[in-house]
């Protein structure tokens, strides 16, 4: 499966990038964000990973005078994997979306992440980036 070049939203309200893994423990160990890991990881380790992910988002200082978004938003995720290996798209998308939406609420960017506030999140597979694997997030507020 080749990567598809997608047209990113032109009128976005917020854009940033998140890592595909999160540091856990004290020995440089990382947890890869995907649903299989989410399901199989001990709850204390998962809580540590969620806290560390939240800290990453909080340090971006995303909230401004317009936050939290008052209207529903669309989330566009552009996934740049580290390798060409195949993956289950929804295993990755659901874990990143869960961690991110929870962090955005805690940081004051979103009021809620229910289906009325977060409309149809879209997940796109992009080119391999061995040097900087990431997920770029574009948030578009409905007017």
Task: Summarize pLDDT for 77-106 with one digit per residue, the tens.
Answer: 999 999 998 888 888 999 999 999 999 999
pLDDT value at residue 124: 93
pLDDT value at 137 more than 60? yes
Domain of 100 in residue numbering reads as 14-141
Show the beta-strand stretches assigned E in 5-59.
14-18, 21-24, 29-32
Domain membership of residue 109 (yes or no) is yes
In this prediction, residue 1 carries a pLDDT of 41
pLDDT tens, position by position, 113-125: 999 999 989 999 9
Q: Is residue 101 part of a domain?
A: yes
Reported confidence tier of residue 6, pLDDT bands at 50, 70, 90: low
Question: Residue 37 domain-assigned?
Answer: yes
What is the pLDDT, as a whole number, of residue 7?
Answer: 63
Q: Is residue 69 part of a domain?
A: yes
Inside any domain, residue 6: no
Q: What is residue 120's three-state secondary structure?
A: strand
**CATH code, domain with 129:** 3.30.1330.70
pLDDT one-digit tens code per residue, 8-55: 777 889 999 999 999 987 788 898 898 887 788 888 888 899 999 999
How many structural domains are present in the chain? 1
Residue 136 domain flag = yes
pLDDT at 2 over 60: no
9: in domain? no
Question: pTM, whole model, 2 decimals?
Answer: 0.87
Whether 105 is in a domain gets the answer: yes
Residue whose C-alpha is closest to residue 133's, from 3, 40, 41: 3
b or e along 49-88 (b: 16 or more beta carbons within 10 Å of the residue's beta carbon)? Answer: bbebbbeebeeeebeeeebebeeebbbbbbbbbeeeeebe
Strands 73-80, 118-125: parallel, antiparallel or unpaired by DSSP?
A: parallel
C-alpha span between 128 and 99 (Å, rounded): 22
């Amino acid at each position: 499966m080749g990567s598809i070049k997608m047209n990113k939203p032109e009128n976005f309200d917020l854009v940033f990038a998140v890592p595909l893994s999160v540091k856990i423990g004290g020995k440089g160990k990382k947890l890869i964000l995907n649903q299989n890991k989410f399901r199989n990881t001990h709850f204390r380790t998962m809580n540590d990973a969620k806290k560390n992910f939240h800290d990453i988002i909080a340090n971006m200082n995303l909230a401004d005078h317009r936050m939290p978004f008052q209207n529903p938003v669309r989330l566009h995720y552009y996934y740049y994997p580290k390798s060409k290996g195949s993956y289950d798209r929804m295993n990755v998308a659901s874990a990143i979306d869960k961690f991110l939406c929870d962090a955005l609420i805690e940081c004051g960017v979103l009021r809620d992440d229910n289906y009325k506030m977060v409309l149809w999140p879209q997940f796109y597979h992009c080119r391999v980036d061995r040097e900087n694997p990431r997920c770029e997030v574009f948030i578009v507020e409905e007017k």
